[in-house]
Structure 1
């Protein structure tokens, strides 16, 4: 067994059944997560710390959320390549607020909300160089912002600076369901590349396919190489983004085509001075290894340039924050175990948000589905109708506490009864009278949500109406009457929320669009449009689900 295989086995064998434990938070307002001897996950603890005043060119950040990376697992276990255990740290990226400025800082002000690359960032305060800091887009939560710095700068540096990825080229992204992998998928799609991907579990492979990645293979079998050669008629890859060790590295190198680029993200084979044959390089193949810590330390201007490119793409809506699972700082050990066992899709984020005590009757509450957050808001169109009210009650049961219900009419007596019941149980409900098919009215409604509620993170489009009749009886007016709320409404919602990091966008469609329904040609066509729009959004990497409901009983 190689040292690399031993490390992998060591991290993956962490006890999954270990008791969920809460770390003790020091009385001090300043503390950090510390890895100490004997360097196991169980030895992680929160220790009092001291703040460091920023020197010229630096800023100090109050950390609200911090991203977790696999290198943190290796550091916590004292096995990070090339670094003595006693000299290591945990945490390389964070999001928070600037609380102190060093001399010469003009780009930031006190109180600015930012994201940053910063060593020792798994703690309440961290000081770092200003060029490694960027303003947080207002549309992102701190937790979402913490998914961006390391994953996207790594993927951008690898694909564009080293890999020179061009439109139409083929790229193989190993471990594509992880943080860097999913960042690379978004950047490769944006570049117009043909994406091939691997992942280590059926769940992760299914997730990648749901993003529109067509060629998805198993990263725990060497068969991926034969699959790639078969799919490409033997020509192989233009670029391989590798994070697999040992025999997987050599197999990956063997499928790089002429003038291809092999980008090594892993540390194990480099640390072990592993041998690779030179025959693969006779095809004008290049091999590059990535060390982002060295890049930020020794080429800070290049690192800053890459970070600026990433932030511009994020601001323009070309890329999105990564899927995430959040652990409070008190559950840091559980977060480390979760990543060590490679359960995560996307990023793991450690939250240092002040924990609000829930009402007595909700202390045991846990959301039962991903994507519903009690501190975010959710919009339901057609929200005052029967289906909309059912959706509102269901969202509340999943943990949502801020709901915006949009409809063209005032609430009926039945609707008011449902709303009053939800409010009595702790829901904050905003009722907006507007027509989703009128873009100006919808834009005003979204602005009202922004003013009155937390960030919008989900949409259920349940607006619709019926006007049944055989085709020969349906004139333009009857077609438009049915299509406007579904077609115009869906499109308006799509266009006006393109710059928002939604967790879900659900269309209430109908089986009529799939199976047909007598005297409902207009209704079937309207729902078919929503189905197609959902496919379009998914192809763009945006959340979308169109549900072809059958009959409802409300």
Structure 2
């Protein structure tokens, strides 16, 4: 403190300040002041090869950002085994598979992405893996692999990104006549339609089908497939513009077979046009009363196929009397198929390849946004005005069919990532804050974690959390080294380096010696200071000697 009179509450120097009723009073530079909390500065964007689309606040579309990822174009993938580096942000399976990384040129949005980003459904609906829940948006991309080959792929490994890793079995070459933008409109919509309608050979000439929201991505894909198979098609759309689009591009569908998806009037259309029989199949994406009206449009023995996410996610109940005419109900969620049945996805890719050759799998109309217009793309999709797909273009396609893609940099907000081959030390790691930090590091890719605690594991909660981290592939080592001594710190750093080069050390240790002021002793101060001041000093000295590549010491 600067020069000031001895404390006396009656002295006007202190008396006037005490009247301010502040928790803390500081006299500095001949002025009275106090401590106050300041907002953290906004993160400045950094240049990065790998950026991923994500929300910084779930439910708020205005928080959609490009977030720095851990990959680079030089990142090596180990063939014939699990992916090494992508474990930083991704949830990989334990199966032995080959992976391919490629530069993304286009990715498309789906209604699932809108519902996730807006908070209407949770990511745990699609995956129980907490690492995978961090970047759940997206499914399909198009781009070039390291050899310059044009490809389309599906993946749940943070697909809305500038660099993507996918299993080699889930990558398909782009036809010569298509652009990469064309290709990005294909996978999910045709997966859905083929799985829903062709998997059990439902479509035959004359099969009647009601396709809701027929100018959406799945709707147009279904029209292409059903027209090829000679079906009797009924559709619904939400606007006059979309009705006119169908009349222009699908003249095979008479105007009397086009209904309104904004109300239940389509039910009357079906009754009139089918003489009260109903339709054999309903491909549904409508909710509430329109969903129930759609079920009433079914013919006896018909099949109701639900492709909407909302009612499935909230477990909406249906009156079973609506289905008394031997109607079967089927929910189609390709996300779940992808999570649990990769062989089916591989077969679907084969069927898409067959459909391309037969002519019923073809690119869809789309609205295209640039990579720096991601929020605008999401908001536009919420309006329901688009026809076909919404595509986000990350970079322009070259004229050459095969060319090694050049390295590109994007602006994204920084994000901390752990290196899977390096070690991370948390002193006091079995305390409340220490375990929260360990969990945070796990979500950011840590694979080698040293938790320092003089008492070791003492509760079932600690055992449970460690078990969870191990289930995510984290090697958790508990150390009881005495970090209040230089020898203890030396032994800790030495054994940690054997697991992997140390990247960061976090000192969260604390020993509380609470007591009334008159009961405090010099020994209590020494005991409290040791794990903080002494340990920090020793760790600093030892890491300077043994950890030349240490990035962080906190």
How far apart are residue 279 of structure 1 and its match? 2.4
Distance 1:274 1:288 in 2: 14
| Correspondence 1:380-459 to 2 at 5 A | none
Secondary structure class of the residue paired with 2:47: coil
How far apart are residue 38 of structure 1 and its match? 4.8
2:62 to 42, 63, 72: 42
Aligned match of 2:140: 93
Does the 8 A contact of 1:262 with 1:286 survive in 2? yes
Distance 1:279 1:316 in 2: 41
Aligned residue-pair number: 325
Aligned match of 2:331: 289
Aligned match of 1:78: 119
Distance 1:328 1:162 in 2: 39
| Correspondence 1:313-332 to 2 at 5 A | 313-332=355-374
Secondary structure class of the residue paired with 1:345: coil
Aligned match of 2:196: 158
Secondary structure class of the residue paired with 1:27: strand
Aligned match of 1:147: 185
Does the 8 A contact of 2:107 with 2:141 survive in 1? yes
Distance 2:63 2:191 in 1: 31
Secondary structure class of the residue paired with 1:158: helix
Secondary structure class of the residue paired with 1:83: helix
Distance 2:323 2:135 in 1: 36
Secondary structure class of the residue paired with 2:294: helix
Distance 1:207 1:233 in 2: 27
State the superposition RMSD in angstroms: 2.2
Q: Which TM-score applies when normalising by structure 1?
A: 0.56
Q: Which TM-score applies when normalising by structure 2?
A: 0.56
Aligned match of 2:104: 63
Distance 2:183 2:45 in 1: 24
Does the 8 A contact of 1:64 with 1:124 survive in 2? yes
User: Greater Rg, structure 1 or structure 2?
Assistant: 2
Aligned match of 1:113: 150
Does the 8 A contact of 1:237 with 1:255 survive in 2? yes
Q: Any gaps of 5 or more consecutive residues in structure 2?
A: 1-43, 78-82, 84-96, 401-554
2:386 to 341, 344, 362: 344
Secondary structure class of the residue paired with 2:48: coil
Once the two structures are superposed, residues 120-146 of structure 1 have per-residue CA deviations (whole angstroms, 9 ceiling, x without a partner) of: 221111111222211111111111100
Distance 1:164 1:349 in 2: 31
Secondary structure class of the residue paired with 1:283: coil
How far apart are residue 276 of structure 1 and its match? 1.2
Does the 8 A contact of 2:108 with 2:184 survive in 1? yes
Once the two structures are superposed, residues 407-440 of structure 1 have per-residue CA deviations (whole angstroms, 9 ceiling, x without a partner) of: xxxxxxxxxxxxxxxxxxxxxxxxxxxxxxxxxx
Distance 2:298 2:360 in 1: 28
User: Larger relative CO (CA 8 A, sep 6+): 1 or 2?
Assistant: 2
2:261 to 193, 216, 219: 219
Secondary structure class of the residue paired with 1:165: coil
How far apart are residue 355 of structure 1 and its match? 9.6
How far apart are residue 298 of structure 1 and its match? 1.1
Does the 8 A contact of 1:241 with 1:264 survive in 2? yes
Aligned match of 1:275: 317
Does the 8 A contact of 1:163 with 1:239 survive in 2? no
Higher alpha-carbon deviation: 244-253 or 157-166: 157-166
| Correspondence 1:236-275 to 2 at 5 A | 236-275=278-317
Q: Any gaps of 5 or more consecutive residues in structure 1?
A: 1-23, 100-109, 357-374, 377-554
4+ residue runs of structure 1 moved beyond 6 angstroms? Answer: none
Aligned match of 1:182: 220
How far apart are residue 25 of structure 1 and its match? 7.3
Pairing 1:122–2:160 present? yes
Aligned match of 2:483: none
Structure 1 residues 221 and 116, CA gap change in structure 2 (3 angstroms): same
Pairing 1:195–2:237 present? no
Aligned match of 2:242: 204
Higher alpha-carbon deviation: 128-137 or 275-284: 275-284
Distance 2:124 2:326 in 1: 34
